[in-house]
Amino acid sequence: MNLKKEKTILFDLDGTLIDSTEAILESFHSTFDHFANKRPDDSLILAEIGHPLDYMFLALGVSTEEVWDFVAKYKEHYRKISKAKTFLLPQAREAIEEASKIARLGIVTTKTALYSKELLEHLELMHYFEVLIGREDVKNPKPNPEPILKALSKLQSDTTKCWMIGDTCMDIDAAKAANIHSIAVSCGYGSQEQLSKCATIITTNAFEAVASISCG
């Protein structure tokens, strides 16, 4: 066995590797407009990114009875625009390329797995990842450890040599609950103040996080 590949690195997606803020906001706007509901302020939407869509809509005032209609309409719009309005964060491609030299890779996201795979294929990066766990793959999303544990189970990974890289405390808390290492990145949706409450290691971006793992 190649000893370099004994490590496993799991990445969050939004705010860690990609910036899909424009696509997310536009899809929320379109959805609220469709149902003739007042649009919430963009700052309120941004504050919820990282949670599953149903959680986000509920937090933004949509009723339990209507929430899945809102989610379906959002997905319909998002899928049409996501590829054109999603971009890699600075040094994200380099982070993935470097990580692939030292570890097996996976994605653990609260986004829909189907759309996440389509985005990564569009960005010509999906082939680096052996597993992708999305919202529909689990009952309990991050910060519950279920998605991380499911990814590690598929990879049959040694948890003592696994890392989670993410931009919110949901990622870090999920890693802690799964008993694996974690690194927070400040390039996404979690503020430095928020991340300092949950993470012991905070780097500027995913590339720096991978470099830290390489040196560890």
Angle formed by the axes of helices 21-34 and 67-81, nearest 10° = 130
**Is 30 exposed, middle or buried, given 0-12, 13-18 or 19+ CB atoms closer than 10 A?**
middle
Three-state SS string over 115-168 comes to: HHHHHHHHCCCHHHCCEEECHHHCCCCCCCCHHHHHHHHHHCCCHHHEEEEECC
Structure tokens, 187: 């390039």
Q: Give, as one character, the DSSP assignment of residue 190.
A: S
SS3 41: coil
Q: Which residues contact 135 (CB under 8 A, 6 or more apart)?
A: 52, 53, 109, 110, 111, 112, 113, 141
Q: Is 12 a catalytic residue?
A: yes
What is the set of active-site residues? 12
